[in-house]
Amino acid sequence: MEGCVGETISALCAMRAAEAAPPGVAKTWRLLAKDEGRHAALAWRTLAWVFQQTEPGTAPGLVGLAERLAGEALAAPADGWSDAAAEGRLSARAIAETSRSAWRDILLPTLREMAGETILAA
């Protein structure tokens, strides 16, 4: 969770913050995004290795858990949150939207693909 999910979402948030930040601050956000991206990549490689080392039912079980967590993240209310951002920081609304898009566009598709490959290899 912390590596694959947390670091992926953090990298995406930092990239989006860099896009909205003043030039001086944007450079720092881009450095943070790159660093968080490296952490996420290591976590995904580790998970791929774990899938190769475990029983075939492990991958689909993890995907099921991720789908439940994604459902919670995708259903979380965003209304009433401020859209104000200062010094290149994302607002609470932007962070929630980034988390949703990470689950929908990156996390679940990647986990499903990895699980499918694991099942085929077993």
Question: Could you report the per-residue pLDDT of 31-60, keeping only the tens digit for each?
Answer: 999 999 999 999 999 998 988 888 777 788
Using N-to-C axis directions, what is the helix angle for 58-75 and 92-102, rounded to 10°?
Answer: 150
The pTM score is 0.80
- Asked whether the beta carbons of 68 and 1 are under 8 A apart, the reply is no
CA atoms within 13 A on the CB side of 113: 7
**Domain extents for the chain?**
2-121
Question: Could you report the per-residue pLDDT of 60-89, keeping only the tens digit for each?
Answer: 888 888 888 888 877 766 654 444 455 677
- Asked whether the beta carbons of 11 and 29 are under 8 A apart, the reply is no
